[in-house]
Chain A
Amino acid sequence: MTAPDDRRPRSEGDRRHPRGMILEVAGLTMRFGGLTAVSAVSFAALRGEITAVIGPNGAGKTTLFNCITGFYRPSSGAIRLHRTGELPVDLHGLPGHRIAQAGVARTFQNIRLFPGMTALENLLVAQHNKLMAATGFGIGAVLGLSRYPKAERQAIELARHWLSATHLLDRADDPAGALPYGAQRRLEIARAMCTEPTLLCLDEPAAGLNPRESEELARLLQEIRAQGTSLLLIEHDMGVVMKISDRVVVLDHGKLIADATPAEVRADPKVIAAYLGEGEEDEVEA
């Protein structure tokens, strides 16, 4: 995981980050009519690390996420996914399902589970492509062909693994919509992990969680990192961000204002100004 995926550096980003990057965002701009929500943002998320994107409300964090995961098509700029031993994939311009197949999964600020399906089914949907490939597009499943039960068993095994990692095993057969809020958040993460992503993008995973749940979440995210998935998260809960992030990217009014370690970001006057909403002069005085 830690080895650079190629001898020859592919871009500037690789030279700066010998460990190899997983996601490269270069000059990304997203305009909605006259509003520029994200303006020429460039940064890299490194392989095997947790990268946090923070910023005040309206800084463009969610827009950035929506570009990375194919919800929006960026106005300009590039988003590249670097996978080990493979050519980088340009995520901008790929349709949504191809982005997922390339290895990017995401969760939402406002939870988007399939409420009418059980927790387990939600996790099986995430393994759709694998299962479809194994069953000849569902026809084999109807005919009861042999490869299907095996594939389904493996899929259920993976689902159970993530259900137990998120402490949801006893709720496997409950409709996702009937789970309590905190459980739905965890289930969404479990579902994203069932796509076996190389990069997991989380949009405010700690929103609305109580301190104990936040604590558990931080542990879960560290576990996921330990298993080799890189993470990119938007988070308001600074406790969680400072504790688990390896790198913090700060946006303000659609622009990148800092890209550093948590400790450096905490001391950065520009970041403090952005959060306190004060002018530069005040900052110098303070």
Chain B
Amino acid sequence: MAYALQQLINGISLGMIYGLIAVGYTMVYGIIGMINFAHGDIFMISAFIALIAVILLSLGGLMDGPAAILLVLVISMAITALYGWTLERVAYRPLRGSFRLAPLISAIGMSIVLQNYVQVSQGARVKPLEPLVPGGIEVMRDGAFVVQFSYIQMLIIAVTLVVLAVFTILVTRTPLGRAMRACEQDRRMAALLGIDTDRTISLTFVIGASLAAVAGTMYLLRYGVIDFYIGFLAGVKAFTAAVLGGIGSLPGAVLGGLLIGLIETFWSAYFSVQYKDVAAFSILAITLIFLPTGLLGRQEVEKV
């Protein structure tokens, strides 16, 4: 029981990270119908930016207290957003109106470019970071087993919820969100109503990248080790989450992320840590076969 509770806590905090990345996939898919395979690497870049920010702040002697962590988060979000914007501008926009596979291939190319860029500029070695937020509270004790709810897990859950709440307001209540949904449903019509669709798409990438930056920063703080390759696995898992939740659906992405996080954690806890990725990707295969529109996805309606 205590063991399961611990897994639940771990699974939710991991699922939140996947959910944040999955939102980026699903938003981009929704608006331009393309899977941005470089999104996982945007997540990886954000973790590196956060690490560099932590190191610079530590050198300046400023790295202490919650304000410093918030500052790291904001720096990472801002710079990663710039990467997201550039990615769209350089690799996807010139291919708009080209055949459907072109931006997809471009995305895979950008993924490789970003990985190698970080590998060359930051080195291939694993980068460790000592825990900035140690400790936690003891939720429950069962014999020798202690259920820990660590501060960093609380931080992940709290930050994610706040970020997702702001994001939800942005999408549902603001003109920008309305424009994004309009572009999603009929981009040319949106343009005819005076919406600058190119700018709306750019902003979608910017928002997706900054959500990935939240995930990247939280990942760094929680796991403390990053390398140039983390984006691949995290990206593919978040993509699985987006598909499971129903690609194109924002609540679906968060739900899918949580489910993937929980499935992976419980699988590791009760079956085999080595095969946890098998579990996650089996979900992808099963979803694609039996539930191609995902849990909350809408049925594709052929436009006539």
Contact = CB atoms under 8 A, between A and B. Distances in A.
Interface in B160-186: 166, 169-170, 173-179, 181-182, 185-186
Interface stretch (A128-136, A160-168, A242-250): A128-136
A100 interface: yes
B142 to A, nearest CB: 44
- What 9 A-B pairs have minimum CB-CB distances, sorted nearest first? A138-B176, A96-B191, A100-B194, A131-B175, A141-B174, A114-B185, A138-B174, A125-B182, A97-B191
B71 interface: no
A275 interface: no
Nearest to A196: B194
A126 B193 contact: yes
B185 A117 contact: yes
A183 B30 CA distance: 27
Nearest to A99: B192
B100 interface: no
Interface in B192-223: 192-197, 203
A70 B193 CA distance: 12
B219 to A, nearest CB: 25
Interface stretch (A39-47, A105-113, A232-240, A261-269): A105-113
Contact of A121 (B178, B189, B197, B298): B178
Given A124-B175, A125-B179, A132-B175, A142 B166 contact: yes
Interface residues of A, number: 34
5 contacts: A96-B197, A97-B194, A97-B196, A116-B185, A195-B194
Given A116-B298, A117-B182, A131-B175, 5 more contacts: A97-B197, A100-B193, A106-B192, A141-B174, A195-B194
A138 B195 contact: no
| Most chain B CB atoms below 10 A, which of A99, A112, A128, A131 | A128
A93 interface: no
A121 B298 CA distance: 20
A101 interface: yes
Contacts of B203: 137
A106 B188 CA distance: 12
Nearest to A129: B194
Nearest to B177: A138
Given A114-B189, A117-B185, A124 B194 contact: no
Contacts of A112: 186, 189
Contacts, number: 91
Given A114-B186, A142-B169, A101 B194 contact: yes
B1 interface: no
Interface of A: 69-71, 95-97, 99-101, 105-106, 108, 110, 112, 114-117, 121, 124-129, 131-132, 135, 137-138, 141-142, 191, 195
B304 interface: yes
A132 B176 contact: yes
A99 B191 CA distance: 9
A184 B170 CA distance: 27
Contacts of A97: 191-197
Interface in B273-304: 298, 304
Contacts of A142: 166, 169-170, 174
A117 to B, nearest CB: 6
| Most chain A CB atoms below 10 A, which of B181, B196, B203 | B196
B119 to A, nearest CB: 35
Contacts of B78: none
Contact of A95 (B177, B191, B193): B191
B55 interface: no
B199 to A, nearest CB: 9
Contact of B178 (A96, A100, A106, A124): A124
Contacts of B193: 97, 100, 105, 125-126, 128, 191, 195
